[in-house]
Structure 1
Amino acid sequence: MGILQAIPQNLHRVEVEGEPLWFHIPTTSLFAPDALSEELLSLADRAEGLDPGALPGHLSQDIGHEDVRARLEQLKALKLITDGAVQAYNPTVEVEQFPLSTVVLNVNTGCNLSCSYCYKEDLDNPRDGKKMDLATAQSSIELMLREAPQRDRYNIVFFGGEPLSNMPLIREVVEWAEQRIHGLGKAVDFTLTTNATLLTEEKIAFFDAHRFGLTISMDGPKAIHDKNRIAVNGQGTYDLVARRIKPLLANYRSRPVGARVTLTRGVTDVIGIHDHLVNELGFAEAGFAPVTSGDMAAYNLTSEELQTVFDGMVALGERAVAAALEGRDIGFGNFNQLLTDLWEGRSKAVPCGAGLGLVSVDHAGDVHLCHRFTGSDMPTFGNVDDGLDHDGLKQFVEARADRSERGCADCRIRNLCSGGCYHESYARYGDPMTPTYHYCDLMRDWVDFGIQAYARILRHNPAFLDGPLAGRQSA
């Protein structure tokens, strides 16, 4: 074993309640190091490195030679030290299969709302909406089954426009898909995001009977919601939405119902919005999506507003930690997702499953990377009749995963962020290959907060991670 050097880009040190904690960047794992590991790594981090032959005599502790050697081998296995050249971060992804678990069906381009910030490039008014037919939906599902016959569970997402404007198709697809997929001895889940204006008690009962995962697009109290979420006649929709969701939130039993909040310029009150949606209206969870890359710059948050939003998220996150220590989940979606990523040790070479585990199909049967690209100028990747464009998807995913020349090599969250959302990059920079640089500093701070929060919960109430948090994921 030659001179040992530390590999600093693979470790991020934090301190939690006065105790050191290691965030192992390659695996997104957390370790509570002992004094020996800390000292050995500190010695290896010097310019001259660490000479194993001079140990253990130079250590402050009385440690046997074999114990020191064993610990050094552990640090080498974790790629925290090396006796060779320090290798630059250069991820390689080789895509050989496309194990689809999810297909997004864009059932109608028409929408009865005219939200000012909507990113959908194929959006039509209700009269001109292009509806998917049953044959296209069936072919989309068959495509998923062909690509991933090994899966035990599949997910079908209904999207729009407003998906409830093509409710007859949703009913037909559910009946057919359950028969088809259950007939294979496999399970199927259904997911739907809706503006809720077309909800009825009869539809709610249908969704409940088939265990739909429902998300309602709602931006907060009336003044905030009505600012951007307006009907095609220019009227605000808060009163209608609040009325429609009342029986949903009172009677829906199969799965928790969440709210998706879009934050635009001038809207930064994360805590107030969350309080209204969760504590006053009764949503199980609220998640926040800041707008920074919309086509209309007037709706994008300024850098100062974005900082305010993240400060609010941290403040709400502190409330979530306090509740978790008491065994309660306050329903803060972004925080719960971050905790889940850390708890499961997710280490990602790509930011999401788009193009690998998920594809989106438009009304004509063309395949898109995800639902956010439907109607955009991005190339499509095959169609449901001819199949996936495997070569095109392979080239895209492998090229995007290579961020060695894009400033990610030394980033401590490189395997959590993985360059950020493809569509966010496409909208902001005109190139889905470009990492979402405008989020970098804030995301690093957010993950640091998450590490601290996770460690505190793990230390004082680990049952929360196996209880409320695990229950959220299984739902």
Structure 2
Amino acid sequence: MGSLTLIPHNAHRVDVDGLAMLMHVPTTSLFEMDEVSRSVYELFRRVGVADAEMLRAELGEQFAPDALADCLQSLISLDILRDSADPGKPLTVQKVEDIPLSTIILNVNTGCNLACTYCYKEDLTTPAKGEKMSFETARAAIDLLLVQAASRDKVNVVFFGGEPLSNMPLIRQVVDYTEARVAELGKAVDFTLTTNATLLTEDLADWFDAHRFGLTVSMDGPRALHDKNRKTVGGRGTYDVVAGKVRMLLARYRSRPVGVRVTLTAGVTDVLAIHDHMINDLGFAEVGFGPATSGPIAVFNLQPDMLKSVFEDMKTLGRRYVDAAIRGENIGFSNMHQLLSDIAKGMKKAVPCGAGLGLLAVDKDGDLHLCHRFVGSNQPTYGNVTTGIDVPKLATFVETAQDRSAFGCKTCRIRSICAGGCYHESYARQNDPFAPVYHYCDLLRDWVDFGIEAYTRIMRANPSFFRAHLQPRSAA
């Protein structure tokens, strides 16, 4: 054998309770290292390049030649070790020739009856000025979805706003139309909706239940925290109204678990207290936290010290999640659910999400956006529901997004999970959807390491947790 060199950006070691876990970065696959692989890997980490003579001198007395050869071959096959004369393969950009949609997001109204201080929506307005999507536009969007999803067995329709419940007549029409169309095609459909809950009624809750909607409520915690930012257009806090509506909904809703999305802002960062209130006082099935770092009003955004503190609190809650998982219990922390699902499946992302590929958002005029966050922004659109998707234009965006090596993503150890981060987060903060979310990078790397530790501990103590709780959630 010639000399071999370590490709450090293709492997990452995390030690967990005496185990040496190796993440294969290109695929996020996780391996437990034995004594041979640990010794070989650490030798290459120390020296960088080694040949057969050095390996024999350093490790020949500890391990049999066959064991060393098998280990080297495994690491070479994973491209963790490479012939030192081999420059490696250049980055391959997957060409985009079609847009195989699975999800369409309908922005059914620009109007909202709340005036949350951190809202990112650039087209948001008051209820009186709200511009509602017409049924003709929505129907064309569903037809476009079904054409682009011809090879899929299931499609997803998401209702967004503004406050989507302020255009319930349209939502009812779309559901009736879509259910009839998918039945004709032998497909299934999944409806989801995010709401501030203020307009919920018992009749609506029962109707959503009958159509098995996936519901998420936007709410920020106990009264003192929620009312800081989530106010009516007139400036009044909304906790009492929302909490009452949520209790009504959760008492009646049976078809699917209902989750809550919490936006963490300056002054609203008590992750542990918020989770406890949402799960134990209100009864939500899951709580997901979204730190605000690039909202339009900077005073509400989390600054670096706040963001670091939030991630530490999320890790504290994550440890409670792990302890509960080992007991076979699920405490409903959706950020941990997602992290562990990514690790369990072995992510290999070329782009950060399905925006522009499996998912597009439709505005009131039928124009197509990368996702719901871009509706109302100054970013380009990619066709219209009546004329179809501008495939060349969208393909150029997705192909460009696959290569962020100019920003340093090429050698990042979480590139197959993050892939550069949210397009909209980058656009809102840096006015460039391709620029990585640098303010998150170190924290996200630490969060993934924490996830590897959590995954390893749960797998050792109670592997059935994943089958009982994560797999059903992913399927839903």
TM range (shorter): over 0.9
After the TM superposition, which residues 362-373 of structure 1 pair with which residues of structure 2 at under 5 Å, given as runs?
Answer: 362-373=363-374
Q: CA deviation at 1:127?
A: 1.2
Pick which of 42-51 and 350-359 moved more: 42-51
CA offsets, 1:69-118, max 9 Å, x none?
33322211111101133548745232222111000001111111111111
What residue is the counterpart of 2:25 in the other structure? 25
After the TM superposition, which residues 12-51 of structure 1 pair with which residues of structure 2 at under 5 Å, given as runs?
Answer: 12-47=12-47, 49-51=49-51
CA offsets, 1:142-185, max 9 Å, x none?
11122221000000000000000010111111111011012111
* Structure 2 gaps, min length 5: none
- Tell me, what secondary structure is at the counterpart of 2:232? coil
Write the distance in 2 (CA, Å) between the matches of 1:81 and 1:396. 33
CA offsets, 1:50-74, max 9 Å, x none?
3236665752556554443333222
CA offsets, 1:238-262, max 9 Å, x none?
1111111112111211111000001
Aligned pairs, number: 475
What residue is the counterpart of 1:2 in the other structure? 2
CA offsets, 1:311-362, max 9 Å, x none?
1101100100100000111011111110111011112111100000000000
What residue is the counterpart of 1:68 in the other structure? 68
- Tell me, what secondary structure is at the counterpart of 2:439? helix
Q: CA deviation at 1:389?
A: 1.0
Contact 1:89–1:409 (8 Å) recurs in 2: no
What residue is the counterpart of 1:146 in the other structure? 147
Write the distance in 2 (CA, Å) between the matches of 1:71 and 1:437. 36
Contact 2:19–2:33 (8 Å) recurs in 1: no
Q: CA deviation at 1:393?
A: 0.9
Q: Please say if 1:436 is aligned against 2:412.
A: no
Kindly provide the amino acid, as one letter, of the partner of residue 305 in structure 2.
E
- Tell me, what secondary structure is at the counterpart of 1:348? coil
Identity of aligned residues (%): 57
Q: CA deviation at 1:40?
A: 2.4
- Tell me, what secondary structure is at the counterpart of 1:467? helix
After the TM superposition, which residues 317-328 of structure 1 pair with which residues of structure 2 at under 5 Å, given as runs?
Answer: 317-328=318-329
Write the distance in 2 (CA, Å) between the matches of 1:373 and 1:61. 61
Contact 2:383–2:390 (8 Å) recurs in 1: yes
Contact 1:101–1:144 (8 Å) recurs in 2: yes
- Tell me, what secondary structure is at the counterpart of 2:50? coil
Kindly provide the amino acid, as one letter, of the partner of residue 36 in structure 1.
V
CA offsets, 1:21-51, max 9 Å, x none?
1011111011001111122233344547232
Q: CA deviation at 1:473?
A: 1.9
What residue is the counterpart of 2:405 in the other structure? 404
What residue is the counterpart of 2:345 in the other structure? 344
Contact 2:6–2:48 (8 Å) recurs in 1: no
Contact 1:277–1:286 (8 Å) recurs in 2: yes
What residue is the counterpart of 2:380 in the other structure? 379
Structure 1 segments, 4+ long, off by >4 Å, are: 53-58, 60-64
After the TM superposition, which residues 45-124 of structure 1 pair with which residues of structure 2 at under 5 Å, given as runs?
Answer: 45-47=45-47, 49-52=49-52, 58-60=58-60, 63-83=63-83, 84-87=85-88, 90=91, 92-124=93-125
What residue is the counterpart of 2:391 in the other structure? 390
Write the distance in 2 (CA, Å) between the matches of 1:35 and 1:92. 37
Kindly provide the amino acid, as one letter, of the partner of residue 41 in structure 1.
Y
Q: What's the Cα RMSD here? A: 1.6
What residue is the counterpart of 1:137 in the other structure? 138
Write the distance in 2 (CA, Å) between the matches of 1:180 and 1:53. 68
Write the distance in 1 (CA, Å) between the matches of 2:321 and 2:258. 18
CA offsets, 1:372-407, max 9 Å, x none?
000000010000011111111111111122111101
Q: Please say if 1:290 is aligned against 2:291.
A: yes
CA offsets, 1:196-242, max 9 Å, x none?
00000100111111110000000000111111111111111111111
Contact 2:231–2:237 (8 Å) recurs in 1: yes
What residue is the counterpart of 1:253 in the other structure? 254
Write the distance in 2 (CA, Å) between the matches of 1:266 and 1:247. 29
Q: CA deviation at 1:307?
A: 1.1
Pick which of 66-75 and 386-395 moved more: 66-75
Closer/same/farther in 2, CA of residues 89 and 223 from structure 1, 3 Å limit: farther
Kindly provide the amino acid, as one letter, of the partner of residue 132 in structure 1.
M
Contact 2:111–2:127 (8 Å) recurs in 1: yes
Closer/same/farther in 2, CA of residues 57 and 227 from structure 1, 3 Å limit: closer
Closer/same/farther in 2, CA of residues 418 and 91 from structure 1, 3 Å limit: farther
Write the distance in 1 (CA, Å) between the matches of 2:54 and 2:443. 42
Write the distance in 1 (CA, Å) between the matches of 2:434 and 2:452. 28
Contact 2:149–2:155 (8 Å) recurs in 1: no
What residue is the counterpart of 1:157 in the other structure? 158
- The TM-score normalised by the length of structure 2 is 0.97
Write the distance in 2 (CA, Å) between the matches of 1:218 and 1:156. 22
Contact 1:217–1:260 (8 Å) recurs in 2: yes
Write the distance in 2 (CA, Å) between the matches of 1:128 and 1:337. 37
- Tell me, what secondary structure is at the counterpart of 1:288? strand
What residue is the counterpart of 2:197 in the other structure? 196
Write the distance in 2 (CA, Å) between the matches of 1:389 and 1:432. 19
* Structure 1 gaps, min length 5: none
After the TM superposition, which residues 413-432 of structure 1 pair with which residues of structure 2 at under 5 Å, given as runs?
Answer: 413-432=414-433
Contact 1:354–1:370 (8 Å) recurs in 2: yes
- Tell me, what secondary structure is at the counterpart of 1:183? helix
CA offsets, 1:276-306, max 9 Å, x none?
0111100000101111101111111121111
Q: Please say if 1:355 is aligned against 2:369.
A: no
Contact 1:360–1:371 (8 Å) recurs in 2: yes
Write the distance in 2 (CA, Å) between the matches of 1:85 and 1:422. 34
